[in-house]
Chains A and B, each alone.
Chain A
């Protein structure tokens, strides 16, 4: 279960940290600069576990919604060769991706996470009508989601929330699969084009800000609601719908 420990910025000085560590028996470790830096990082975290999981669950709801819209409108997409409709194999990929995002949403909400909103926006109408725009958008969003989970892993590790670190890796890996498959759908010769996933954000809140800036949250584009798509998620062929 995810715990809400409400961690806030502690305001501890380095001297305070040294005293604290000595009292808890970690004096030997404090001879290393790395240990001091890591403890300081934990103390300086400005996001609580609740902050992080609420942002992540909102992103997952957004993914369920946007993918659901794409799946529902699959037959109407325009392809570069002039043909109509998303190719069947990639509709299957989108359905599986939506299933995974919904699994993430359900696990997080069952653990206490609360989405900040369940209404999102489509900032560019072509996302709903043009195949290339759709998959480029998916690639961009998945890159941001991966980076959010990378940041979450670091933030959870800083406060030694081991199970949450593991969860972040298990979920971030799935988002990376989506990224590679979006690139495959775009016809990229190299779907797997990075040796290390990008670590763009220091905090998960930066990822949320990025989504807002892109217009998917609190934007002016066509509104779409999670509730209109969550009930039609297709789990065919999926396994591992919980992290255990």
Chain B
């Protein structure tokens, strides 16, 4: 599968177009050395666009998981999320934050740090089943985004970035299966191969944007990354860089 050059934004492409494309949550990719990646991002719009979309997605993930953690006690009419689930979601948030930090330190610029919960997803903040269903769907999209990114980086001749995409696809897959377990799926590990519906990261971003998380009329909630990033709990999480 070879990517055509017009699928990557030229330098003159307006911010609006990038906003249209972005939004994948939970995707992350890192180079072994930050300096070469910074240089690469500045000189290659395609890689720059991709990692900026990913940074935005990571920020979205930190924000939404943070909202779930902060509201853990309110789920299911006050019954609350179980301590086990809260621990898992805290780790998910820590991992997405690690991805965000590494990306931005490498030069990625998130296109927004303000996110919305549309009315039709409002129950993900109050109903545990809705939360787990959403997590499974979202992580499935993120894994697909990583798969697309791996292929794109191969076409761009960037094997180190393809490696990192694989390292991140694995982490998002773990999130998927644990969310599946939490919602009672039998078996939770129900895939022979992770789904790969996207050819480009932009396609995955469009899928996420269609969910209304990057701006929507009359949202149920508007959330700011900064309100959640300051108290990420990394307890027990290792491998915070690739």
Chain A residues proximal to chain B, CB less than 8 Å: 29, 32-35, 38-39, 41-42, 89, 92-93, 95-97, 99-100, 103-104, 107, 146, 149-151, 153-158, 160-163, 165-181, 184, 189-199, 237-243
Contacting A190 at CB < 8 Å: which of B1, B30, B175, B236? B236
Looking at A34, A96, A97, which has the most chain B CB atoms within 10 Å of its CB?
Answer: A34
* A-B CB contact pairs (8 Å), 27 listed: A34-B40, A38-B157, A39-B157, A41-B159, A89-B186, A99-B192, A150-B166, A156-B162, A165-B153, A166-B1, A167-B193, A170-B196, A176-B173, A177-B177, A184-B178, A191-B178, A192-B178, A194-B238, A195-B99, A195-B237, A196-B164, A196-B239, A196-B240, A197-B166, A198-B167, A238-B192, A242-B192
The distance in angstroms between the C-alpha atoms of A230 and B175, with both chains bound, is 29
**Taking the complex as formed, is B160 at the interface, i.e. its CB lies under 8 A from any CB of chain A?**
yes
- Contact partner of B151 (CB less than 8 A), chosen from A162, A171, A196, is A162
Which of A42, A155, A197 is the one whose CB lies under 8 Å from B170? Answer: A197
- Contact between B174 and A180, CB atoms less than 8 A apart: yes
Q: Is B94 an interface residue (CB 8 A)?
A: yes
Q: Is the contact region of chain A dominated by helix, strand, or loop, or is it mixed?
A: helix
User: Chain B: which residue is nearest A163 at the CB level?
Assistant: B1
In the bound complex, how far is the Cα of B161 from the Cα of A104, in angstroms? 24
Interface of B, helix, strand, loop or mixed by DSSP: helix
Chain B nearest CB, measured from A97 CB (Å): 6
Known A38-B159, A153-B162, A157-B159: A190·B87 in contact at CB below 8 Å? yes
Residues of A within 8 A of B239 (CB): 194-198
CA distance in complex: A106, B181 (Å):
27
| Residue B189, interface by CB 8 Å | yes
| Alpha-carbon gap, A198 to B155, bound state (A) | 24
Residue B104, interface by CB 8 Å: no
Query: When the two chains form their complex, are residues A190 and B191 in contact, meaning their CB atoms are under 8 A apart?
Result: no
- Beyond A169-B146, A173-B143, A193-B91, 9 additional contacts (C-beta under 8 Å) are A95-B187, A103-B192, A150-B166, A154-B166, A171-B194, A176-B173, A177-B189, A179-B174, A196-B167
Q: Are A190 and B147 in contact (CB under 8 A)?
A: no
Indicate which residue in B1, B92, B157, B164 contacts A192 across the interface (CB closer than 8 Å). B92
Q: Is the CB of B190 within 8 A of A157?
A: no
| B163 & A154 in contact (Cβ 8 Å cutoff) | yes
What's the Cα separation between A154 and B236 when bound, in Å?
28
What is the interface residue range for chain B against chain A? 35 or more
Partner of A160, one of B28, B39, B91, B157: B157
Which of A107, A179, A192, A196 is B88 in contact with, Cβ under 8 Å? A192
A100 CA to B194 CA, complexed, in Å: 10
Task: Contacts A157-B154, A196-B167, A238-B192 given; indicate if A189 touches B242 (C-beta within 8 A).
Answer: no
> A165-B150, A166-B196, A173-B194 are contacts. A193–B163 as well, Cβ < 8 Å?
no
Report if B203 contacts A (CB, 8 A): no
CA distance A159 to B39 in the complex (A): 23
Q: Does B78 contact A (CB under 8 A)?
A: no
Q: When the two chains form their complex, are residues A195 and B154 in contact, meaning their CB atoms are under 8 A apart?
A: no
Q: Which of A100, A165, A172, A173 gathers the greatest number of chain B CB atoms within 10 Å? A: A173
Pair B189/A172 contact, Cβ less than 8 Å: no
